[in-house]
Amino acid sequence: MKRIIKPLIVLTVLFCFLNVTIPVSAHGNQPFHFGFKKSKEGKLPSIAEEGFMDTLQKHEAIFLGNTDKKELYLTFDNGYENGYTARILDVLKEKKVPAAFFVTGHFVQDQPELLKRMAAENHLIGNHSWSHPDMTQVSATQIKEELDKVSQEVSKLTGRQGMRFVRPPRGIFSNRMLDVCRELGYTNVFWSIAYKDWDIKQQKGGSYAYGNVMGQLHPGAVILLHSVSSDNAEALGKIIDDARQKGYEFYSLDTLNVKKYR
């Protein structure tokens, strides 16, 4: 018996120690990074081939609209302000285009007037978490706290009650994380058009942003742009005009019937 009990004690102690540091993914919370091969020549990107489609569909996450129609959904991530959001809002107002802005706690605290303007001009304000953590690595309670704080502060500033849409920070998600967000009443929002636009030290001009977005254009696209990008601010008007010339039109995320397009 001694030969059996001693190893069991050692293993039990070791397990208890490892249980504190073991990755969350080992407990049924495998993280995915939302990435795919970009669309070319109007064809759909490779989202269906990346191994996480079943997880997205299970939780009715948004990443595409109706791919049989030339509809576009414009979304921005607002982690912090870099001086271009007002210009973006000016273009959207001039072109009469709806958008969704996913904001963090930093942006909420730092830019109350821009938030009020987004609401006043009938744009959606989405939840991008308070502190921008990897939400696959925090508890359900912490996820709720992150999202509740953004929602409550935005409500105080804009008068809007509740938030419907959430975008996981850095596009990292898991089955558990998506489920927690849905239980809190959110629709998880990803994208089907994006490019590396968030690095403010590597801006390359409006034509670069224009080429990246227009080169990926496809029916039902959910476009992700970062508002810190000077390139995006410069190119946005021409992107809208030329997309419309190609027969596309822009719609608000809250008009998208997720179940219909599955």
In this prediction, residue 82 has a pLDDT band, given cuts at 50, 70 and 90, of very high
Spatial distance between the Cα atoms of 194 and 165, rounded to a whole number of angstroms: 18
How does DSSP assign 78-139, residue by residue? ESS--S-HHHHHHHHHHHT---EEEE-HHHHHH-HHHHHHHHHTT-EEEE--SS---TTSS-
Question: Taking the mean position of all CA atoms in its chain, how far away is CA 225?
Answer: 10
pLDDT at residue 162, as a whole number: 87
Q: With respect to residue 24, please indicate whether it lies within any of the assigned structural domains.
A: no
**What is this structure's pTM?**
0.87
pLDDT at 6 over 70: no
Q: In CATH, what number is assigned to the domain containing residue 251? A: 3.20.20.370
pLDDT at residue 258, as a whole number: 53
Spatial distance between the Cα atoms of 189 and 167, rounded to a whole number of angstroms: 5
pLDDT at residue 152, as a whole number: 97
Burial class (CB in 10 A: 0-12, 13-18, 19+), 104: buried
pLDDT at residue 192, as a whole number: 97
Which residue is catalytic, options 59, 123, 128, 226?
Answer: 226
Check if 123 is active-site. no
Average pLDDT over the chain, rounded to an integer = 89
| pLDDT per residue as tens digits for the range 166-175 | 999 999 999 9
Tally of structural domains, the chain:
1
In this prediction, residue 262 has a pLDDT band, given cuts at 50, 70 and 90, of very low
Contacts of 211 (CB under 8 A, 6+ apart): none
Spatial distance between the Cα atoms of 98 and 257, rounded to a whole number of angstroms: 16
Q: With respect to residue 14, please indicate whether it lies within any of the assigned structural domains.
A: no
The whole domain housing 129 covers 32-261
- The residue-averaged pLDDT of 75-92 equals 98
Q: With respect to residue 5, please indicate whether it lies within any of the assigned structural domains.
A: no
Q: With respect to residue 18, please indicate whether it lies within any of the assigned structural domains.
A: no
Which residue is catalytic, options 59, 77, 128, 231?
Answer: 77
| pLDDT per residue as tens digits for the range 116-154 | 999 999 999 999 999 999 999 999 999 999 999 999 999
Q: With respect to residue 6, please indicate whether it lies within any of the assigned structural domains.
A: no
Q: With respect to residue 78, please indicate whether it lies within any of the assigned structural domains.
A: yes
Q: With respect to residue 25, please indicate whether it lies within any of the assigned structural domains.
A: no
Q: With respect to residue 133, please indicate whether it lies within any of the assigned structural domains.
A: yes
Check if 77 is active-site. yes
